[in-house]
Amino acid sequence: MGMGMMMPGFLAGAFAGAGARTGTTCPMCHHDLPADARFCPYCGYQMMIINKCPACGAELPPDARFCPQCGARADQAASMVSCPHCGAQNLPNAVYCNACGEKLK
């Protein structure tokens, strides 16, 4: 009887990883994430790079005026890009829409 009660737990553990695939790891909290994750569900880190520093290429927050890595001025004088699918406003150098995920250009 004891072994019969333990078997469902063993089988559940054996098949738990069969359908789950991880695509990447969060750079902030190091949890495994699905390949299509835009945000980390554990710490909220945005996995998509929205804005890069023109001098060093570091990731910049959307409202940054200066790069936190090299101190260079983040030029954001260009106009926002409107998504043709949902109409959301995106940063000038965005490739994908932050609202719906569709390709902008």
pLDDT top residue among 72 and 105: 72
pTM, two decimal places:
0.33
Report pLDDT for 19: 42
Would you state the structure tokens that stand for residue 72, as one six-digit string?
A: 């260079």
Percent of the chain with pLDDT strictly greater than 70: 73
Put residue 30 in one of left, alpha, beta given phi > 0 → left and psi -120 to 50 → alpha: left
Report pLDDT for 21: 46
* Residue 52 contacts residue 69 (beta carbons within 8 Å): no
What is the rounded distance in angstroms from the CA atom of residue 1 to the CA atom of residue 20? 31
Does the pLDDT of residue 20 top 60, yes or no?
no
* Residue 75 contacts residue 65 (beta carbons within 8 Å): no
Whole-number average pLDDT of the chain = 77
User: Tell me: the pLDDT tens digits for 24-64?
Assistant: 888 889 999 888 888 888 988 877 767 788 777 788 877 78
With helix as H, strand as E and coil as C, how does 52-99 read? Answer: ECCCCCCEECCCCCECCCCCCECCCCCCCEECCCCCCEECCCCCECCC
Phi, psi dihedrals of residue 52, rounded to the nearest 5°: -115, 150
